[in-house]
Amino acid sequence: MNQAVMPRQNSKSPFEFTGGHLCLNFTNTVDNRKGLNRKELLTSYADLLRWAEEANILRMKDAGRLQNMAEAAPGQAKSALCSALQLRESLYALFSAATERRAIPGTALSVLNRAVQRTAQHERIAEDRRRFHWQLISPESSLDSILWPIARSAADLLTSPDLENVRQCASTDCAWLFLDATKNHRRRWCEMRTCGNRAKARRYYERQRSEL
C-alpha cells in the first residue's frame, strides 16, 4: 500500500473542531501556524479523509471508496491533497485579512471562486418531506469531493453577517480562526484549555520574574 494514502487507524485524532464553522475548522489543520514548531496535520490524502469523517462531511462508506480510489491512483490523491492545502491556505488568507481589516488578497479569492464554481457543478437541491436541502452529487466518485462542502461553507460565511464575528486566536503562535458566538463577543482564544491557559501561565511566570 502506498505510504502517502495509508490510513492511520486507531491513533488518537490530531484534529480539533473548535472553530465553530466547517471552513474555519479546516483552516485549523496546522498547529502553531505562526510559531517555530509549526506542524502540518494534513500530510497525506488519508489524513484528509480522516479529517472529513471527523468533521461529519463524509460518510464512512464513501470514505472507504475514496480510500480505495486513492490507493489505486496515488498521483491523483497527491494532487487532491495539494488542492486541499491550496484552498485551506487561501481561506486562511481571506479570513485572517477580514479579521485584521487588511486588504483582501485577490489570488486567494480567485482560488476560492474556482473551488466554488467546481462545487456548483456537483450540487443540487433535494427534497425530503417538503423540506429542501443542498445535496452533493456522487461525492464518492471524486477524490476532491471533500473540498465541495468546505468551499460552500466558506462562501456562505464570507457572505454572511457572521463574518464580523470571525476571530483569530490571541496566542501569537497559534493563529487559529474561530467564530465568536459568545454573547459579548469577547472570546479571545481558540480554546481556553490550551492557548488561553498557556498565555495565563506565561503572564504569571513573567510577573514572578519581574518581582524577583
- Interface with Zn ion, residue 195, by CB under 5 A: yes
119 contacts: CB under 8 Å, gap ≥ 6: 147, 148, 149, 151, 152
Strands 131-136 and 177-179: unpaired
Of the candidate residues 42, 80, 190, 199, the single one contacting Zn ion (CB under 5 A): 190
**Helix (H) or strand (E) run with residue 71 in it:** helix 60-72
Helix/strand/coil for 135: strand
Which stretch in 58-66, 155-163, 189-197, 203-211 sits in contact with Zn ion by CB under 5 A? 189-197
Task: Count H helices and E strands in the chain, helices first.
Answer: 7, 6
Among residues 174, 177, 179, 199, which is the contact residue for Zn ion, using CB under 5 A? 174
Closest CA to 114 of 79, 86, 133: 86
Binding span for Zn ion by CB under 5 A among 67-75, 83-91, 117-125, 191-199: 191-199
- Minimum separation from the CB atom of position 50 to Zn ion (A): 21
Do 5 and 67 touch, CB atoms closer than 8 A? yes
Stretch that binds Zn ion, among 11-19, 41-49, 129-137, 166-174 (CB under 5 A): 166-174
Beta-ladder partners of 136: 123
| Residue 171 touches Zn ion, criterion: CB under 5 A | yes
Binding of Zn ion at residue 177 (CB under 5 A)? no
Q: Can you name the residues that pair with 128 across neighbouring β-strands?
A: 131
Please, what is the minimum distance in Å from the beta carbon of residue 157 to Zn ion? 19
Q: State how far the Cα of 178 lies from the Cα of 190, in Å rounded to an integer.
A: 6
Among 23, 69, 77, 169, binds Zn ion (CB under 5 A): 169
Q: Would you give the distance in Å from CA 39 to the centre of its chain?
A: 14
Residue span binding Zn ion (CB under 5 A) among the ranges 10-18, 78-86, 132-140, 192-200: 192-200
| Closest distance to Zn ion from the beta carbon of 18 (Å) | 8
Query: Which residues here bind Zn ion, judged by CB under 5 A?
Result: 169, 171, 174, 176, 190, 195
